[in-house]
Amino acid sequence: MTQHTNQSWGGRFSEPTDAFVAEFTASIGFDQRLYHHDIRGSIAHATMLAQVGVLKPEERDAIIDGLHAIEADIERGEIEWSVELEDIHMNIEARLTERIGPVGKKLHTGRSRNDQIATDIRLYLRDEIDTIAAELTRLRQGLIELADREAETIMPGFTHLQSAQPVTFGHHLLAWQEMIARDQQRLLDCRARVNILPLGAAALAGTSYPIDRHVTAELLGFARPAENSLDAVSDRDFAIEFTAFASLLLMHLSRMSEELVLWTSAQFNFIELPDRFCTGSSIMPQKKNPDVPELVRGKTGRVYGHLMSLLTLMKSQPLAYNKDNQEDKEPLFDTVDTVRGCLRAFADMIPAIEARHDHMREAARRGFSTATDLADYLVRRGLAFRDAHEVVGHAVAFGIEQGRDLAEMSLEELRRFSDTIGEDVFEVLTLEGSVAARNHIGGTAPDQVRASAQRARDSIRALPAHAHWHVSAEDAQ
């Protein structure tokens, strides 16, 4: 058994808590990372209580000074967390009372740990969203600048992982950029629903003290107070929504990772990743393994699991708060950590990619990737597309038999399949002619790639300020 019952709720209990139960139900082992946000919320709460006359100014000042001192102790590593005090809230409140005396006990007036933790998580997640949004901006910028540099680099485009039509490497990179841009839009949309203040809902029904929740919301930078006290303490939709965003983001990073892994292989040899993003083999000295994209690809399942965990956690909870909700933090925290790590790796790695232009071009030259261009040429000369499709199919079969691409055949050989083919056919059979012909918005022509890159830059400049907030080296670590 523990030595005594918990001071925050033990008045009606006749025996101490079982020691195992105390450890089993405690959350201080993982929610201690919320200390800054818990203190920030408490300072705002104390400030509001003084404004409405519940606290005297000198009591407010003592509480705020004490909280700042505790925060400094935590950051110096001078706090030992107590399992018996259960969570970050009671650990801080107990130390506050030790430091400033009985007035510390007045801090909890008009609030509950239910609305307190809901506020802490939203403050924490809002800060993390701003950091992640800035990393998404950095990744997008890296993709855009690399795409601009590689606007004329020809590579094969694939369907079913079979050579389909030539595209530019820049066009392919901007496809990745579009994925990440949608993810960033989803994240910023999620932020709006995170930015609602639960504090003041108390345990579930509000409080009889004359609090002013609008004051607290303004002090903490929330858009508004939550409308309903029952919903305020029990809602975890925002955490699920963030984890859904993270799942989509990791799915996109995983698709990118798969292509990076393929492209670095000897069979493709399209790109080179710097050594600092790769590892070697303990037995095969020639190996250079693309561990960063492989690991990001693997972490996708981890984030998917957290999404399912949170959905399952909430699926049958009655209103309002239940102890089940203690289980929301570890999946959310790990999702945040995983997303930040994966984005930092990608934002650092993408600009350092070196394209192997000759290998990309040679791969595009193989596989009859300009066959559709020949069919389009025949259609412009009067053939129905289905007839043109058949003509080109016969030409491809001949090319396979001879081991030559369409552009390597003579005019006489091509005219064996259709006498509508003229000398100008080779203008459309070249790789450059093929990509240049797709000269419309969304197409792979180099001019369109550059124009698309500029529009993407403009869209980044139009983002709200918190999507650009600088990520310091300390934060990144």
Q: Which residues are catalytic?
A: 160, 281
Q: Which of 221, 212, 155, 159 is nearest to 192 (CA)?
A: 221
Q: How far apart are the first and last CA of the chain?
A: 40
Beta strand spans in 108-198 (E): 154-159, 162-168, 196-197
For residues 178 and 147, the answer to whether their CB atoms sit within 8 Å is no
For residues 177 and 140, the answer to whether their CB atoms sit within 8 Å is yes
For residues 150 and 355, the answer to whether their CB atoms sit within 8 Å is yes
CA atoms of 75 and 227, how far apart (whole Å): 35
For residues 444 and 175, the answer to whether their CB atoms sit within 8 Å is no
Q: How far is CA 247 from CA 38, 294, 329, in A?
A: 28, 17, 17
CA atoms of 304 and 246, how far apart (whole Å): 8
> What single-letter DSSP state applies at residue 282?
S
Scan for tokens 């043109």, then name that residue. Answer: 388
For residues 20 and 26, the answer to whether their CB atoms sit within 8 Å is no
Per the DSSP assignment, residues forming a β-bridge with 158 are 163
